Amino acid sequence: MKLIHWSYFLALEEDVQRLSRFVEFNPNNFAAFSLEMAHLLLASCSEVDVVLKMLCKPFAPDAQNEADYRSSIPKQLPNFTIIRVEMKRYALILQPWQSWDNNQTPTWWTAYNKVKHERDSHYEKANLENVLQTMAGLLIGNLYLYRDLANAGKLCPWPELFQLEDKYEKGVGMGETGWTVIYEL
């Protein structure tokens, strides 16, 4: 199985990690925005869209947009919206899909569309908080897309910045390219 979406997530995560050299990942800086953050928001949320469309294929093959995913994924994957992603190095906890519990579009997804279509008037939405939330959402989407591999401890290498909260991690194992986390999703 090709892990192109996992590899792309890891490449984006590397770019986010590089960003941390210029802006501290701290709630006090969540409103900071920049050209690089716009690039990361557009790339990562576009990938979220692709991953969720693939995730929906078995149970909602006609799903084409965030509203379709919101109405389909929580019914099939009930824990999807409650999973929290930790950035332990920065003491941050993100819950990117929580708004789906109230049938609402995530703020970061709306920001992505505003930056994509109306950047001239919504450039400030390309901010640190939206980038981090989008990446957390992408991690969860990827782990469910590659769920069998994640649960078998064969999805590697593991991320450096973004991890699921500890209750979903069941240990470590040796994958084909090094150490990996064994998840229970």
The size of the chain, in residues, is 185
Q: Which of 123, 116, 143, 141 has the alpha carbon at shortest distance from 43?
A: 116
The separation between the first and the last C-alpha atoms of the chain, rounded to the nearest angstrom, is 19
pTM: 0.94
d(CA 6, CA 148): 13
- Could you give the 3-state DSSP secondary structure of residue 156? coil
Exposure b/e, 86-125, CB count within 10 A at least 16 = b: bbeeeebebbbbebbeeeeebebbbbbebbeeeeeebbeb
pLDDT tens, per residue, the chain with 185 residues: 689 999 999 999 999 999 999 999 999 999 999 999 999 999 999 999 999 999 999 999 999 999 999 999 999 999 999 999 999 999 999 999 999 999 999 999 999 999 999 999 999 999 999 999 999 999 999 999 999 999 988 888 889 999 999 888 887 777 676 677 888 88
